[in-house]
Amino acid sequence: MCCVRLYLLDITCRTLKKKRNFGVILEGESVGVLINKEIDKLLESTSRSFYPTLKYLPKKIRGQIGLLYLMARVADTIADSKHGDTNTLLNDLNSYNDFAQGRSSDLPNFENLASLQKNQNEAELLRNVSKVLDGLADYTNKDKELILECLDTIVGGQTLDLERFGPANEGDQISSLASNQELDDYTFRVAGCVGVFWSKMSLTHIMSLPPEDEELFFMKGIRFGKALQMINILRDIPEDLRFGRCYIPGEALERHGLTPEDLLDKSNIEKFRPLYDEYLDITSDHLDAAVEYIKMLPEGQFRLKASTMLPVLIGQRTVTLLRSGNILDKNERIKVTRDEIKSYAKKLLRALLIPGGVRRLLEKNKTLE
């Protein structure tokens, strides 16, 4: 899997794409030009599911979110490359970020890395990194600061991922995070920081809160992102193990008499279950914070509420499924079905149109966990 994902943005947009009935509010609207035609073309080809759904986000922050996604996708493509040694990938990754941040005047030549990519759209993205970064010039200094702040944190997480695990190659050796502190730091770097970015963008362009509430809003935004990344981790254990990566901390496994290699055997699920449930409980608590985050959004912000509610509804349902399934069975793919997503979309539309509907829907869905 991708070692790092903009999960808060990605799951929001992929789920919103399926919600055709949201067109009652947005009917006939196209994405239009987000940044510029060249960058938009790269964004569209690199993520066919993400690009069309940007129209469901508030207009004033679409372009910034799209550009951050693309800049992070460049870093993700470098870090997730199955070719090259760890030091080379680390150098390319950090040189790219240093240039973006203005700490260096030398942008690496990614032609060689591009030629090794199986995905030709990602190869084309690497060949056009300078055009992507030029897109920053279209935004205010404040927006640029927020985009680069988030990118810097994400790359920090990717750097740690490469240092711990090396390139994403299949192999016999499995490495794990050391502690719960490392896990919490990782989820902040790859997703919690996106919650902060999303929150700051919202406050800058489309809403306001009393100054005394802003810090609480940011903290709940961080936990929102962490919740979605924890779901990502807890759902993808078999796939990560295949690539030699175990995000369940070694200290915690040892406490339960387990090793990362033990998680390859599906018959160990009952021994693993108590620890697994601990992490699902942490995830559920983060989702509760995400619900509080949504309650802080103004009632009239339909787009903002929709783009944050769907991931929470689906996240709550996913936690329920993970509690009852055997996550160690690589043949048992645990996920919310398309029919369930469509059902949530219809419920969400009704909730948005009824006073107090958002709060009631979130609370009812929580009781089904």
CB atoms within 10 A of CB 53: 22
Q: How far apart are CA 64 and CA 203, in angstroms?
A: 14
DSSP 29: -
CATH number 3.40.50.300 given to 7-367? no
Structure tokens at 69: 């996604």
Residue 224: φ, ψ to 5°: -60, -50
Picking from 71, 72, 56, 45, the residue whose alpha carbon sits closest to that of residue 13 is 56
Going from the C-alpha of 74 to that of each of 80, 128, 205, the distances in angstroms are: 10, 10, 26
CB-CB contact of 41 with 51 (8 Å): no
Q: SS3 of 322, please?
A: helix
Question: Which is it for strands 175-176 and 245-246: parallel, antiparallel or unpaired?
Answer: parallel
Q: How far apart are CA 188 and CA 141, in angstroms?
A: 24
Q: What pLDDT score does 17 carry?
A: 45
The upper half-sphere exposure of residue 264, i.e. CA atoms within 13 Å in the direction of its Cβ, equals 13
Structure tokens at 171: 């192999």
Q: Kindly give, in sequence order, each residue whose CB lies less than 8 Å from that of residue 267, ignoring residues fewer than 6 positions away.
A: none
CB-CB contact of 264 with 330 (8 Å): no
Geometric angle at alpha carbon 33, from 197 and 70, rounded to 5°: 40
Query: Per residue of the chain (369 residues), what is the pLDDT tens digit?
Result: 343 334 445 544 444 444 444 444 444 455 567 788 899 899 888 876 677 667 778 889 999 999 999 999 999 999 988 777 889 999 999 999 999 999 999 999 999 999 988 889 999 999 999 999 999 999 999 999 999 999 999 999 999 999 998 876 656 689 999 999 999 999 999 999 999 999 999 999 999 999 999 999 999 999 999 999 999 999 999 999 998 899 999 999 999 999 999 999 999 999 999 999 999 999 999 999 999 999 999 888 888 888 888 889 999 999 999 999 999 999 998 888 888 888 888 888 888 888 888 778 887 887 666
Beta bridge mates, 176: 246
Q: What pLDDT score does 310 carry?
A: 84
The upper half-sphere exposure of residue 341, i.e. CA atoms within 13 Å in the direction of its Cβ, equals 17
Q: What pLDDT score does 169 carry?
A: 62
Model confidence, pTM: 0.86
Q: How far apart are CA 165 and CA 335, in angstroms?
A: 26
Q: SS3 of 245, please?
A: strand
Q: What pLDDT score does 368 carry?
A: 64
Q: What pLDDT score does 27 carry?
A: 42
What stretches of the chain adopt beta strand conformation (E)? Answer: 175-176, 245-246
Q: What pLDDT score does 262 carry?
A: 97
Classify 298 in phi/psi space as left (phi over 0), alpha (psi -120 to 50) or beta: beta
DSSP assignment string, 265-293: -GGGHHHHHHHHHHHHHHHHHHHHHHHHH
End-to-end CA distance of the chain: 27
Rg (the chain; Cα; Å) = 20
Per domain, the residue ranges of the chain are 7-367
Q: SS3 of 266, please?
A: helix
Q: What pLDDT score does 365 carry?
A: 81
Q: What pLDDT score does 280 carry?
A: 98
